[in-house]
Structure 1
Amino acid sequence: MNKNRKTAVRWGLILIALALLLLLSQIFPQAFAIFNIFNLSWGQVFWILLLAWITWGSFKHRGIFIGIFASGLIVKIISQAYQLFNWTGYMYLALFLIALGGQLLAGEKMQVNVTVGKWDDDGDDDSNFSYSESAGKNGEKVAIDSVFSKSVRYIHNQELHKLDVSTVMGTTSLYLDQAKLKDGQAKLDLDAVFSKVDLYIPSGWRVQADASPVFSRFSALNPSDLALAAPLLKIDADLVFSQVTIHRV
Structure 2
Amino acid sequence: MRAKTKVKLNRSLLGLGFIAAAVFLVMDQLHLFPFTLGFWSIFWTVIFGAALITAIVNRRIYSSIFSAAFLLIIYAKPLHIQALAPWTILLAAILLSLGIRLLYKKSFSPTIVVNGQKVDVNWSDLKHGRLFKGRKNIMDDTSFGVDSDNVVISSSMSDVSRYVHSQNLRTITIDSSMSDINVYLDDAKAAGDEVIVNFNSSMGDVNLYIPKNWQVDNQLAGSLGDVEADYVAGDGPRLVLKGRASMSDITIKHV
TM-score (normalised: structure 1): 0.49
- Over alpha carbons, which structure has the higher Rg? 2
TM-score (normalised: structure 2): 0.48
